[in-house]
Amino acid sequence: MEKAMEFLTKGYNEDPTRILRGAMFDVDYDEMVIVKDIEMFSLCEHHLLPFFGRVHVAYIPKGKVIGLSKMARLVEVFARRLQVQERLTRQIADAIHEAIAPQGVGVVVEARHLCMMMRGVEKQNSSTVTSAMIGVFQNHQTRAEFLSLVKEGAGSAP
């Protein structure tokens, strides 16, 4: 059990800023970049039961982009901590915003919580969706574009 908990909470020993700074590139690109369907597993800080799902991350660069695999690594850093989904969503968005100061960042997390499925209300088919929108993603049109692109072809690459 000790080894399992060490693995499941390894995110406390990782620095999200260092991960992102290790793969930032100067570019002349100002359109939306989306990495969607990033698998995520975490532990509810209230019940120590797993929650799992998918994370969709988007940003509009302003001179810098982040290596695509670093998005998945960033999600992993924050997911591998005792968490609540709302904070996880915000931490991912804030880390990207702080690292590259883009025009905006959008993050959507869709998850199923075993604390709701196994205990309490015992609702097997419930899911929770959270979002964090920064900068231009607070604009209705940008938000709508992001959400439609996430929904489009959900779960599979074109």
Strand 24-26 vs strand 64-66: parallel, antiparallel, or unpaired?
antiparallel
Q: Could you tell me the residue range of the domain that residue 42 belongs to? A: 2-151
139 belongs to a structural domain: yes
Predicted confidence at residue 119, as pLDDT, reads: 85
Positions annotated as catalytic residues are: 44-47, 85, 113, 115
- pLDDT per residue of the chain (158 residues) written in tens, 0 to 9: 999 999 999 999 999 999 998 899 999 999 999 999 999 999 999 999 999 999 999 999 999 999 999 999 999 999 999 999 999 999 999 999 999 999 999 999 999 999 888 888 888 889 999 999 999 999 999 999 999 999 986 555 54
Number of domains in the chain: 1
Q: What is the pTM of this model?
A: 0.93
- The CATH number of residue 49's host domain is 3.30.1130.10
Stated as kind and residue range, the H or E segment containing 131 is: strand 128-135
Residue 157 counted as domain residue: no
